[in-house]
Structure 1
Amino acid sequence: MTMTTDHAAEHAAGQAGGLTRDRLHSLLAAVCDRAGLASGDAELIKFTNNAVFRLRRAPVVVRIAGSSAARSRVPTVVRVARWLADHDFPAVRLLPGCEQPLQVEGHLVTLWKHVPEVGPRPGGGELAILLRRLHRLPDPPVDLPEWAPMAEVRQRLAEPEDLSAGDHAFLLDECDEVEERLAALDYALPAGVIHGDVFMGNVIAGPRGPVLCDFDSTGTGPREWDLAPVAVGRLRMDYPADEHTSLAEGYGFDVTRWRGFPVLRRLRELKLVTSVLPVLRSNPGIRSQWEHRMRSFKARDQTVRWQPYR
Structure 2
Amino acid sequence: MAFTQERARAVLAAAGRPDAAADAELLALGENAVFAVDDLVIKVGRDSGLLERAEREVHTAGWLARQDVPAVRAARPRAELVDGHPVTYWHRLPAAVRPATAADLAALLRLVHALPRPDFSLPKRELLSGVERWLRLAGDAVDPADAAFLRHRRDAFAAEAAALRPHLAPGPIHGDALPRNVLVGPDGPVLMDLETFSGDLREHDLVVMALSRDRYGLDPAEYDAFAAVYGWDVREWDGCAVLRGARETASCAWVAQHAPGNPAALAEFRRRVASLREGDETVRWYPF
TM-score scaled to structure 1, two decimals? 0.84
- 2:5 corresponds to: 21
| Distance (Å, rounded) in 1 between the aligned partners of 2:56 and 2:114 | 19
Identity %: 35
Gaps of 5+ in 1: 1-13
Deviation at 1:52, TM superposition (A): 1.3
Moved more, 112-121 or 68-77: 68-77
**What amino acid sits opposite 1:123 in the alignment?**
T
8 Å Cα contact 2:135-2:253 kept in structure 1: yes
- 1:124 corresponds to: 102
- Alignment: residue pair count: 287
For residues 182 and 138 of structure 1, do their structure 2 counterparts lie closer, same or farther at Cα, with a shift above 3 Å needed? closer
Q: Which of 42, 47, 57 is residue 24 of structure 2 equivalent to?
A: 42
Q: Does residue 236 of structure 2 align to residue 257 of structure 1?
A: yes
8 Å Cα contact 2:102-2:178 kept in structure 1: no
Structure with the bigger RCO (C-alpha within 8 Å, sep 6+) is 1
**What amino acid sits opposite 1:134 in the alignment?**
V
What RMSD over aligned residues (CA atoms) do the two structures have, in Å?
2.3
Q: Which of 14, 21, 30 is residue 30 of structure 1 equivalent to?
A: 14
| Distance (Å, rounded) in 1 between the aligned partners of 2:208 and 2:83 | 34
**What amino acid sits opposite 2:180 in the alignment?**
G
What is the 5 A alignment of 1:179-190?
A: 179-190=158-169
8 Å Cα contact 1:154-1:175 kept in structure 2: no
Deviation at 1:22, TM superposition (A): 2.3
Q: Does residue 274 of structure 2 align to residue 299 of structure 1?
A: no
* Residues 22-81 of structure 1, C-alpha deviations (whole Å, 9 max, x = no match): 2222223323528xx6344222221122221222xx121111112466444212111111
User: Helix, strand or coil: the match of 1:180?
Assistant: helix
- 1:215 corresponds to: 194
8 Å Cα contact 2:40-2:90 kept in structure 1: yes
| Distance (Å, rounded) in 2 between the aligned partners of 1:38 and 1:114 | 15
For residues 166 and 26 of structure 1, do their structure 2 counterparts lie closer, same or farther at Cα, with a shift above 3 Å needed? same
Q: Which of 45, 48, 54 is residue 65 of structure 1 equivalent to?
A: 45
8 Å Cα contact 1:19-1:279 kept in structure 2: no
* Residues 86-144 of structure 1, C-alpha deviations (whole Å, 9 max, x = no match): 22210111124xx6212111100111111133222222222222111111224514221
Deviation at 1:198, TM superposition (A): 0.4
8 Å Cα contact 2:42-2:90 kept in structure 1: yes
| Distance (Å, rounded) in 2 between the aligned partners of 1:242 and 1:152 | 32
Moved more, 241-250 or 108-117: 241-250
- 2:74 corresponds to: 94
8 Å Cα contact 2:36-2:42 kept in structure 1: yes
Q: Does residue 121 of structure 2 align to residue 143 of structure 1?
A: yes
**What amino acid sits opposite 1:102 in the alignment?**
E
Deviation at 1:259, TM superposition (A): 1.3
| Distance (Å, rounded) in 2 between the aligned partners of 1:47 and 1:290 | 18
For residues 246 and 32 of structure 1, do their structure 2 counterparts lie closer, same or farther at Cα, with a shift above 3 Å needed? farther
| Distance (Å, rounded) in 2 between the aligned partners of 1:69 and 1:266 | 26
